[in-house]
Amino acid sequence: MPDIRPAIPGAARDGRHLAHLRALEKKALWLSTWMIHNANHLRPSRDGLKVGGHQASSASMVSLMTALFFDVLRPQDRVAVKPHASPVFHAIQYLMGRQTREKMERFRAFGGAQSYPSRTKDTDDVDFSTGSVGLGVAVTAFASMVQDYVRLKGLSDQPEGRMVALVGDAEMDEGNVFEAMLEGWKHDLRNAWWIIDYNRQSLDSVVSDKLWEPITGMFRSLDWNVVIMKYGRLLEAAFLEPGGEALRQWIDTCPNQLYAALCFKGGAAWREALIRDLGTTSGIRGLLDSHDDAMLARLMTNLAGHDLPTILDTFHAAANGPDAERPACFVAYTVKGMGLPFQGHKDNHSGLMNLEQMAAFKAQCGIKDGQEWEPFAGLDVDVEDLKRFLTEEVPFTATPTRRLSAGFVPVPERLDVSVTERMSTQEGFGKVLAELAKGDTELASRIVTTSPDVTVSTNLGAWVNRRGLFDRHERHDIFKEQKVVSAQRWQGDPQGQHIELGIAEHNLFLMLAALGLSHDLFGARLLPVGTLYDPFVMRGLDAFNYALYQDSRFMLVATPSGVTLAPEGGAHQSIATPLIGMGLPKLSSFEPAYVDELAVIMRWGFAHMQKPDGGSLYLRLSTRSLEQPSRPLDAEAVIDGGYWLRPPAPDADLTLIYMGALAPEVLSAHAQLLEDVPGAGLLAVTSADRLHQGWMAARRARQAGQVAVAPVERLLSALPATARLVTITDGHPSALSWLGGVRGHKVAALGVETFGQSADLPDLYAALRLDADAIIDAVARVLLE
């Protein structure tokens, strides 16, 4: 398919419209620059830290963002803004009346506008948080797939939107962007626009020449519409004049570093360079003579990304063209720091204008003292008409709020699972979902599962067989049609409820991030469940963190975990993941040993994921088959994080505390110890994370003068102060060793501190000192301390 070219220059919008957009462009530049200046130079500093902000990165995107937010975007479109264009975003929101002056004045201060757009901390209209470069770009692709998912199932009645990423060119260095592109291609991605601010500068330096060639090659090979936005109208007109073709070639072949340096140096330097290189070319002298230095600088920096008419024509042509749904990448040439004294300077990323420079810029913007925050000061348009334009004609302001919501999906009192005598938590997980899949509850209809090529090996097979793969188009199971016997039935259609991903774990977390925001973005509640092997949580960790940072809601099922998957070897054995689970905010992590616990946790989780003050879940499961107890279970204690499996005697000297799949070793050690240490307790921990959270919460409540006792305090108060604790888990020992700090008990903590290796369980547990002997040994030592 041909790439869309910009429409004929000069089309579309009338003079009044363009004049208003130019006025807003001017104000967006002024306000974004000023809010950074105010934060750094005018707001008193109490700690001597540089506040920062990105005046150059912001200036680079002002024209593109003006065109998008005040003209091109529709309310149903969703935008991820390049992190360091946050000031422009807030300035635009301020001009729309959706951001307060107070928050602008407090940019980067407590309670003020955030450094990088934040869905949770900013009060203006942020669709996706950004900050860790690359992730905001990629999440838009997954959001588009989620939009298809909910619309094709009739779960959302919202108009179809376009998912737009405003991308810094250096963000394209992040591999996760390309991973997402590949996944998008597989899923027939539509309605995604990635607009690259091609200022050819990153943080440290100017980027390699012609970087756009491999970048656009990637997009083209994956069937994206690639639109190069290179020159503005002034330059395009100059190219038609005598000598124009030579001028175009000169710019086309000008190294990025030289072009940037000349942008910084200005008109006289441009003149000198052009005389040196093209002085004898017919027509060039005439062009130079008819431009003074200021005009020449303006001409030579007239790149498409700063030329409103070109930008508008390009975007509208793409939005209304025959390929409107096809994913599109726009490479918009810009100058970093455009219009500011350090434009083009290679060190401008963290550069800030000084007081004199700001005074000059203020005069240039026509702003009088005291009018700095006035939204419409210094403009030569009819301000009343501009206000009318903003409230009545800008599509983005047409709805009072763009944040959507969705009702609560009821969760039954208990989740059914048929527990066999011996089974693993991973098997139990598969069975809980399989039971749900058989029924026709609303809960089951809102669950969407996803997995990076480990669907079957994480026990999602039964669920997928019943609920099917999600595919925008009918996909037949050829193996089934060919009568090849297989336990897996993998046909796909728009009603399917499992999204199969390639191996890239980053994509799993970005998919979960997007699915878990569906209620906010598309008004349709989904209950996403993602599975992967526990060690590979680390492969997607930044995206995992990112999903939680945005307050996305999902259930992560990480299985198998720990050294307990023994023969698989050290590369697959996770050690630090319990600490990741504890350390990440907005996440409750659990590591149940038994399936009855797991069913309770999953039930609670489906409700917790929907509560305004709730969060996401991380279930660390195992493939180790354990003998399953048949018993009444205190569900509340399981959710709080622990319960007494064998309560201690009032004068007990010792308690064993375990979490997860090492339960049999602990039970065996406990039985052996009872002869020598009668009354020893045995505490089952289902969630070190929840116990710790509860402890912190109780301490905070007491500090605030309330009466509060944490579950972990209540549990450990059953022990005398002199009792010893021995903790054990298949993960880093510090996940449980902190329990000694709750009431000051002496503690010996067993766990995994070195990389494992292939072995069977007895050998590996013995080598890593996790077996019953090691526990008894640790008990003997700690009792002597």
Residues that bind Mg ion (CB under 5 A): 168-169, 199, 201
CA distance 144 to 448: 16
CA distance 513 to 499: 14
Tokens of 659: 């979490």
Please tell me whether residue 689 binds ligand TPP under the rule CB under 6 A: no
In whole angstroms, how close is the CB of 301 to Mg ion at the nearest point? 15
List for the chain the helix, strand, coil content (%; round to 5). 45, 10, 40
- The tally of CA atoms less than 13 A away on the side-chain side of residue 410 is 5
Q: Which is nearer to ligand TPP, 349 or 572 (CB)?
A: 349
In whole angstroms, how close is the CB of 472 to ligand TPP at the nearest point? 31
Is the CB of residue 3 less than 8 Å from the CB of residue 225? yes
Total of chain residues touching ligand TPP, rule CB under 6 A: 18
Tokens of 254: 């000008």
Residue 132 binding result from Mg ion, ligand TPP, none, given CB thresholds of 5 to 8 Å by partner type: ligand TPP
Site for ligand TPP in 378-407 (CB under 6 A): none
In whole angstroms, how close is the CB of 264 to ligand TPP at the nearest point? 15
Preceding amide of 322 cis, omega within 30: no
Q: Which is nearer to ligand TPP, 171 or 505 (CB)?
A: 171
- CA-closest candidate to residue 98, choices 60, 128, 69: 69
Residue 156 binding result from Mg ion, ligand TPP, none, given CB thresholds of 5 to 8 Å by partner type: none
In whole angstroms, how close is the CB of 232 to ligand TPP at the nearest point? 19
In whole angstroms, how close is the CB of 644 to ligand TPP at the nearest point? 45
The H-or-E segment that residue 695 falls in is helix 688-703
Q: Which is nearer to Mg ion, 82 or 553 (CB)?
A: 82
In whole angstroms, how close is the CB of 36 to Mg ion at the nearest point? 17
In whole angstroms, how close is the CB of 508 to ligand TPP at the nearest point? 18
In whole angstroms, how close is the CB of 85 to ligand TPP at the nearest point? 7
- CA-closest candidate to residue 91, choices 503, 443, 372, 411: 372
The H helix count followed by the E strand count for the chain is 33, 20
Tokens of 247: 């001028």
In whole angstroms, how close is the CB of 169 to Mg ion at the nearest point? 4
Q: Which is nearer to ligand TPP, 258 or 359 (CB)?
A: 258
- CA-closest candidate to residue 115, choices 49, 202, 69, 207: 49
The single residue among 13, 51, 106, 132 that binds ligand TPP, judged by CB under 6 A, is 132
- CA-closest candidate to residue 115, choices 78, 79, 80, 85: 85
In whole angstroms, how close is the CB of 573 to Mg ion at the nearest point? 40
CA distance 309 to 231: 11
Question: Which neighbouring-strand residues pair with 411?
Answer: none
Residue 719 binding result from ligand TPP, Mg ion, none, given CB thresholds of 5 to 8 Å by partner type: none
Please tell me whether residue 108 binds ligand TPP under the rule CB under 6 A: no
CA distance 383 to 394: 15
Site for ligand TPP in 622-651 (CB under 6 A): none
Residue 31 binding result from Mg ion, ligand TPP, none, given CB thresholds of 5 to 8 Å by partner type: none
Site for ligand TPP in 166-225 (CB under 6 A): 168-171, 197, 199, 201-203
CA dihedral 737, 738, 742, 746 (to 10 degrees): 40
DSSP designation for 475: B
CA distance 404 to 93: 18
In whole angstroms, how close is the CB of 211 to Mg ion at the nearest point? 10
Residue 171 binding result from ligand TPP, Mg ion, none, given CB thresholds of 5 to 8 Å by partner type: ligand TPP
In whole angstroms, how close is the CB of 199 to ligand TPP at the nearest point? 5
Which amino acid appears at position 91 of this protein?
A: A
The H-or-E segment that residue 669 falls in is helix 663-673
From 81-89, 226-234, 556-564, 723-731, span contacting ligand TPP (CB under 6 A): 81-89
Q: Which is nearer to ligand TPP, 202 or 491 (CB)?
A: 202
Residue 133 binding result from ligand TPP, Mg ion, none, given CB thresholds of 5 to 8 Å by partner type: ligand TPP
Q: Which is nearer to ligand TPP, 64 or 464 (CB)?
A: 64
Please enumerate in sequence order all residues whose Cβ is within 8 A of that of 561, keeping only pairs 6 or more positions apart, or say none: 533, 534, 535, 574, 577, 591, 620, 621, 622, 660, 661, 730, 731
Residue-level length of the chain: 785
In whole angstroms, how close is the CB of 472 to Mg ion at the nearest point? 34
Residue 751 binding result from ligand TPP, Mg ion, none, given CB thresholds of 5 to 8 Å by partner type: none
CA distance 57 to 22: 19
Q: Which is nearer to Mg ion, 205 or 625 (CB)?
A: 205
Please enumerate in sequence order all residues whose Cβ is within 8 A of that of 649, keeping only pairs 6 or more positions apart, or say none: 678, 679, 680, 681
Residue 731 binding result from ligand TPP, Mg ion, none, given CB thresholds of 5 to 8 Å by partner type: none
Site for ligand TPP in 35-54 (CB under 6 A): none
DSSP-derived secondary structure for 427-470: HHHHHHHHHHHHS--HHHHHEEEEEES-TGGGT-HHHHHHH-EE
If DSSP codes are grouped into helix, strand and coil, which group holds residue 668? helix
If DSSP codes are grouped into helix, strand and coil, which group holds residue 729? strand
Q: Which is nearer to ligand TPP, 25 or 169 (CB)?
A: 169
From 78-86, 478-486, 614-622, 771-779, span contacting ligand TPP (CB under 6 A): 78-86
Q: Which is nearer to Mg ion, 154 or 255 (CB)?
A: 255
CA dihedral 73, 74, 79, 81 (to 10 degrees): 40
CA distance 580 to 763: 27
CA distance 741 to 659: 18
Q: Which is nearer to ligand TPP, 57 or 589 (CB)?
A: 57
Q: Which is nearer to ligand TPP, 200 or 230 (CB)?
A: 200
From 82-90, 91-99, 222-230, 758-766, span contacting ligand TPP (CB under 6 A): 82-90
CA distance 266 to 301: 10
Site for ligand TPP in 245-284 (CB under 6 A): none
In whole angstroms, how close is the CB of 62 to Mg ion at the nearest point? 14
Strands 163-168 and 225-229, bridge-based pairing: unpaired
Residue 57 binding result from Mg ion, ligand TPP, none, given CB thresholds of 5 to 8 Å by partner type: ligand TPP
Is the torsion defined by CA of 458, 464, 467, 471 positive or negative?
positive
In whole angstroms, how close is the CB of 638 to Mg ion at the nearest point? 50
Which amino acid appears at position 227 of this protein?
A: V
Q: Which is nearer to ligand TPP, 60 or 301 (CB)?
A: 60
From 77-85, 139-147, 210-218, 695-703, span contacting ligand TPP (CB under 6 A): 77-85
The single residue among 133, 329, 417, 609 that binds ligand TPP, judged by CB under 6 A, is 133
Angle of helix 15-37 versus helix 308-320 axis, rounded to 10: 110
Q: Which is nearer to ligand TPP, 25 or 500 (CB)?
A: 25
In whole angstroms, how close is the CB of 527 to Mg ion at the nearest point? 39
Residue nearest to ligand TPP (CB): 168
Please tell me whether residue 349 binds ligand TPP under the rule CB under 6 A: yes
Interacting residue ranges for ligand TPP, rule: CB under 6 A: 57, 60, 82-84, 132-133, 168-171, 197, 199, 201-203, 336, 349
